[in-house]
Amino acid sequence: MDILLQQIINGLTTGSVYAIVALGYTMVYGVIQLINFAHGEVVMIGAMVAFTVIMALAGAGLPLPPFAIVLAGVLAAIPVCMALGYLLERLAYRPLRHAPRLAPLITAIGMSIVLQHLALLIWGRDPRAFPQIMENTSFAIGGTGGAAISSVQIAIILLSLALMAGLTWFVYRTRFGIAIRATAEDVRVAALMGVDADRMIAATFVIGAALAAVAGVMVGTYYGIAHYTMGFTLGLKAFSAAVLGGIGNLAGAMLGGLLLGLVEALGTGYISEITDLCRWPLIGDGGGLLTERCAADGHVVLFGSNYQDVFAFLVLILVLVFRPSGLLGERVSERA
Amino acid sequence: MATALIEALNLEVHYGGIAAVKGISFAVEAGELVCLIGANGAGKTSTLKALARMIPSAGEIRYRDTRLDRLPSHALIRQGLALVPEGRGIFARLTVAENLAMGAYHRDDRREIGLDLARIYAMLPRLKERAAQVAGTLSGGEQQMLAIGRALMGRPQLLLLDEPSMGLAPLMVEKIFEVIRTVAAQGVTILLVEQNARLALQTCARGYVMESGRITLADSAASLLADPRVRAAYLGE
């Protein structure tokens, strides 16, 4: 198997999901400079709602094609998450609009915990196996010794690209989208044009939450599991992706998501090889215990692929140290 | 003053404990071009911001039969009131065309919007040349043109202009004031705030002089230009 090609495919898949979730972070940040740490939990709720609906429909024995059942799950998750996004903004963040910036940030972390425990109460603490009703066909790429891409991966990548294209069209080509960008730039001047800032801010939450719902179903279907804590790490990774691309920047979130997915997949794919001490003659030939172990097992691996989650945060730290504005974080200066 | 389009009664603005506007009253009639002059920090900008509901204020603001002081800022353009803010307030990351489109955000008459856009492009051809350009890359004068053009896209009856000459080269200032006179001639009521008192009084029919939060003089522009107090304090004579 071609590890490089395989990990690129896997990375593009998870990267697409990160990109869709990162868009929610970056849109909200762009408009009100808030990191909505509860956004990952919205993804989780989306997965849970879809899971519930898919289980119910699959168990009901109705003559529905699998695709229709999954679609019903998505269509149920979207409005629930949109309502959740709206309520978060309306009840948790809007009252703190003019409070010091730390207050809504702490509130966001609080909302994340509240939502996790709400999900714990509703769906229990055990991981739920996402019903694998869709036939997951694998296609070989690159002949023998190549890699495989599954139909679920293809669906995730294509759907994500479509969502990104749709959002870009909406934000850059529609009157409402232009108004959101104007509000992001200057709330008070946008108000002079008749833009109700509260509506625009609520809209960014609702749009981000709709994307999160789809992302939740994609993650659930891809890993085959849904759990009340699944949104936490995913949310932090998507946030890292948004920072990597330049927080507040839509194209940046998309690019950051895909790149982060690739870095993570390639890192996971190669970490055990790279940290195999026997591969490094200077260390491996040092004699003593290590040489014996290398001779016996052939491998002394420092970090295995269970270090998967490290890469996203490594990227986050590196970006914050070396390029805090992110890859596409731009500063258009107003000339006097 | 029976036909006042906008009227302020005992308008007050406070920042924390500091009073920037101390209970002023004035009115602008429909079709008038009125200016509000005064030194830096006299309270001119605060007055305009209060009229546009961008900052909280005390006292009454009457616009036709509506109490503006009870409305949120985003409701004003639908009443026919537009403000070109100090520092122009263009959306730097939006294109020139998008900035102009934002000016007509509250309108639904697409055909009329198109006609207005053509009219504004005819009056300000530089904007048409730069329609697809990101507004932050425009020169200061072009940004001021854009800010005025954007306000006009809202088809205002009352246009509040805050320091349109600020930071601009003399030639550009002349052009901007030419635009202001054209707009006024088209029947738009204008309240102009300016530090450049001479230019303002030469452009307006009537003026108010503001000093430390109070209106100290109110007269025709010609009389103000001749007033020794104005000449000494604002015209550098």
B55 touches chain A (CB under 8 A): no
In a domain, A226, yes or no: yes
DSSP state of A224: T
Q: What is the ipTM of this complex?
A: 0.92
What is the Cα–Cα distance from B188 to B151, expressed in whole angstroms? 11
Task: Note whether A189 contacts B143, CB cutoff 8 Å.
Answer: no
What is the Cα–Cα distance from B128 to B122, expressed in whole angstroms? 8
Please report which confidence band the pLDDT of residue B236 belongs to, taking 50, 70 and 90 as the band edges. confident
Closest CA to A202 of A107, A86, A88, A95: A86
B229 touches chain A (CB under 8 A): no
Task: Note whether B102 contacts A190, CB cutoff 8 Å.
Answer: yes
| Residue of chain B nearest A175, judged by CA positions | B105
**Mean pLDDT, all residues of chain B:** 94
First to last CA, chain A: 59
CA distances from B116 to A234, A289, B112, B123, B150 (A): 48, 84, 6, 10, 10
Q: What is the per-residue pLDDT across B204-228, written as a single tens digit (0 to 9) for each?
A: 999 999 999 999 999 999 999 999 9
B82 touches chain A (CB under 8 A): yes
What is the Cα–Cα distance from A299 to A213, expressed in whole angstroms? 43
Indicate whether B135 pLDDT > 70.
yes
Looking at the structure of chain A, the number of domains it has is 1
Name the token pair of B121: 């492009």
Q: What is the per-residue pLDDT across B91-113, written as a single tens digit (0 to 9) for each?
A: 999 999 999 999 999 999 999 99
Edge-to-edge strands, sheet with B58-63: B18-29, B4-15, B58-63, B66-67
Q: What is the per-residue pLDDT across A89-101, written as a single tens digit (0 to 9) for each?
A: 999 999 999 899 8
- Residue A293 has what pLDDT? 77
What is the Cα–Cα distance from A43 to A334, expressed in whole angstroms? 37
Rounded to a whole number of angstroms, the distance from the CA of B8 to the nearest CA of chain A is 19
**CATH at residue A194:** 1.10.3470
DSSP state of B135: G
Give the domain range for residue A129. Answer: 3-272
Q: Say if CB A30 and CB A168 are below 8 A apart.
A: no
Indicate whether B172 pLDDT > 70.
yes
- Residue B234 has what pLDDT? 85
Q: One digit per residue, pLDDT tens: chain A, 336 residues?
A: 688 899 999 999 999 999 999 999 999 999 999 999 999 999 999 999 999 999 999 888 788 888 889 999 999 999 999 999 999 999 999 999 989 989 999 999 999 999 999 999 999 999 988 877 777 788 888 776 788 999 999 999 999 999 999 999 999 999 999 999 999 999 999 999 999 999 999 999 999 999 999 999 999 999 999 999 999 999 999 999 999 999 999 999 999 999 999 999 999 888 888 888 777 766 655 567 777 777 777 777 878 777 888 999 999 999 999 998 999 886 433 333
First to last CA, chain B: 33
Task: Note whether A181 contacts B78, CB cutoff 8 Å.
Answer: no
Interface probe with A: pick from B71, B83, B91, B95, most Cβ of A within 10 Å: B91
What is the Cα–Cα distance from A78 to A20, expressed in whole angstroms? 14
In a domain, A284, yes or no: no
Q: What is the per-residue pLDDT across B2-35, written as a single tens digit (0 to 9) for each?
A: 579 999 999 999 998 899 999 999 999 999 999 9
Domain with residues B4-90+156-234, CATH architecture: 3-Layer(aba) Sandwich (3.40)
Instruction: Find the helix or strand (DSSP H, E) in which A120 lies.
Output: helix A102-123
What sign for the dihedral angle of Cα A112, A114, A115, A121? positive
What is the Cα–Cα distance from B41 to B44, expressed in whole angstroms? 7
Q: What is the mean pLDDT of residues B123-146?
A: 95
What is the DSSP track for A227-292?
Answer: -TTHHHHHHHHHHHHHHHH-TT-HHHHHHHHHHHHHHHHHHHHHHHHHTBGGG-HHHHTS-HHHHH
Q: What is the per-residue pLDDT across B40-72, written as a single tens digit (0 to 9) for each?
A: 889 999 999 999 999 999 999 999 989 999 999
Strand partners, B161: B84, B192
DSSP state of A91: I
What is the DSSP track for B57-78?
Answer: -EEEEEETTEEGGGS-GGGHHH
What sign for the dihedral angle of Cα A63, A68, A70, A71? negative
The pTM assigned to this predicted structure is 0.90
* Per-domain boundaries in chain B: 4-90+156-234
Q: Which residues, other chains included, contact A182 with Cβ-Cβ below 8 Å and sequence gap of 6+?
A: A189, A190, A193, A195, B91, B94, B98, B102
Residues from chain B contacting residue A182 (CB–CB below 8 Å): 91, 94, 98, 102
B139 touches chain A (CB under 8 A): yes
What is the Cα–Cα distance from B104 to B152, expressed in whole angstroms? 8
How many A/B residue pairs have CB atoms within 8 Å? Answer: 85
What is the Cα–Cα distance from A299 to A307, expressed in whole angstroms? 17
Rounded to a whole number of angstroms, the distance from the CA of A168 to the nearest CA of chain B is 14
CB atoms within 10 A of CB A291: 15
Task: Note whether A194 contacts B94, CB cutoff 8 Å.
Answer: no
Buried b (16+ CB within 10 A) or exposed e, A164-194: beebeeebeeeeebbbbbbbbbebbbbbbbb
Residues from chain A contacting residue B106 (CB–CB below 8 Å): 193-194
What sign for the dihedral angle of Cα B138, B140, B145, B150? positive
Instruction: Find the helix or strand (DSSP H, E) in which B115 lies.
Output: helix B110-123
